[in-house]
Amino acid sequence: MPNTLIKSFQILLVSLLVVCSFHFFEANFLSKAFVYYLPFFFVAFAIVLSMPYFFTQRQGFVLPVQLIVLSMLISIFFAHLSWGQDFTNCILGTLPMMLWVFFFYLLQKKIPELAIEKIIVAYGIIYCGLFFYQLTHSQTVIFGGNEFSEERGTIRIPIAGQGGLFLASFMALNKFTSQKHNRLAWIALSLAGLVIPIIQATRQFILGVLVIFIYHFIKDISILRKVIVIAFCIGLIFFYIKISNNAIVKGLIETQQQDSQMGKDNARLLSGTYFLTQLSPTNINKVFGNGVPSGEDSSYSRFVDSLNQYGLYMSDVGIIAVYAMFGIIGVLGFILIWIKSFTLPLSKDHYYLKYYLWFLLITCLTSDTLYSSSFVICTVFVIYLYQIQYLDHLQPSGKSLS
């Protein structure tokens, strides 16, 4: 088979893997088998393809990814040994998160950077299109589960694939200031990453995107100007909040006030404390984790679900949930990734890779962005693209993948 045909097939595989990991955006007009079972087998196939390349030279991000994958494999056994969850449920629950291992397939096959970027942009645009279509047809649930909630002055539409939106937004922001062509399209796509979280009244995402946007535009100016710009932005935001009659803004203010009044009884604080200190039944679980709760017939899964009635949600506490499921090794993997995002060299036209990782850091205590199927494949893309940029830096004369 000619090399170009092989490479085209590999790129097609990568592209299909994205929509499968997003569960076809949870389209209600598709059968359950198509939305859930087909993606499971496709992801499993991708993992099997990737595992032979798991052991490779530990440069850049290789070791952190190996640690994360290893922690997930170990956790499968502890979910069984400590909680009695059968191996089938353990594997079914862990497999979507195991997509981290696909990093090694991308690295081995040297998937072109340009192809990955096109896939990112394509899915970012698709997500925007589906979101705004669903928003204007909210009386009928087409994408994003079975029903929508109306709160904080808006209709919240949880379409899978948010990671693709934010990654495409940060890429567009980067290209808006580094390229002279298609600037209108880039700024539109970048702003979508801010507008959609505002429409959804998702506080941690709004904060994360705002921090990234402000940093991007002030990173190359003097410290004094940085202080002035930051103060101006904060003042402008507070002024708008004070005078605004927008229902979403009012909903955000009310939610924030309620959380502030709760103090130590804040749901996220209680969730974090519980999953950090009380979930693990033994000391060995405190080191290696408890595994992923999965399956209707799993007592472990039922127990974690029962905590919801007390306001304790694993999905609300990010890196603490990673610790609860995958132990210290998994947390160490993420810490090393964030450290490397600050220390490993990267050209300014690829800063969107740093931005995405910093976005995960900003939201790592308040959401499930670290392990959600809406984000994992996008995180893998970022780590891969960062890795090849790092390797190119080590070997400047080496052949570029772009």
Give helix 247-262 / helix 203-218 axis angle, nearest 10°.
Answer: 110
CA dist 281 to 83, 269, 285, 314, 324, Å? 9, 21, 7, 16, 11
CB under 8 Å to 259, separation ≥6 — which residues? 266, 268
Average pLDDT over residues 159-168: 93
The mean pLDDT of 393-402, rounded to a whole number, is: 55
Question: Over the Cα atoms of the chain, what is R_g?
Answer: 21
Q: Is pLDDT above 50 for 400?
A: no
How big is the chain, counted in residues?
402
The arithmetic mean of pLDDT across residues 119-139, rounded, is: 91
Mean pLDDT over all residues of the chain?
87
Q: What does the pLDDT read at residue 255? A: 63
Under the phi-then-psi rule, with left for phi > 0, alpha for psi from -120 to 50, and beta for the rest, what region is 2?
A: beta
pLDDT band at 146 (very low <50, low <70, confident <90, very high): low
Question: Which of these, 168, 82, 184, lies nearest to 128 by C-alpha position?
Answer: 168
Element (H, E) at 263: none
Quickly state the pLDDT bin for 151 (edges 50, 70, 90).
low
Q: Residue 399: which pLDDT band, with cuts at 50, 70 and 90?
A: very low
Q: Are strands 154-156 and 149-151 parallel, antiparallel or unpaired?
A: antiparallel
The predicted-structure confidence for 365-380, as pLDDT tens digits, reads as follows 888 999 999 999 999 9
Query: Tell me, what's the pLDDT at 221?
Result: 85
pLDDT-based confidence at residue 397 (cuts at 50, 70, 90): very low
Burial of 318 (0-12, 13-18, 19+ CB in 10 A): buried
What pLDDT is attached to residue 136?
A: 86
Q: Hey, is 164 helix, strand or coil?
A: helix
pLDDT tens profile 177-233: 888 888 899 999 999 999 999 888 788 899 999 999 999 989 888 888 888 888 888
Q: What is the Cα–Cα distance from 197 to 203, expressed in whole angstroms?
A: 8
Q: What is the pTM of this model?
A: 0.91
Q: Is residue 383 predicted with pLDDT exceeding 70?
A: yes
Q: What is the pLDDT of residues 43-77, one digit of tens each?
A: 999 999 999 999 887 889 999 999 999 999 999 99
Are the C-beta atoms of 392 and 400 separated by less than 8 Å?
A: yes
pLDDT computed for residue 171 by the predictor: 96
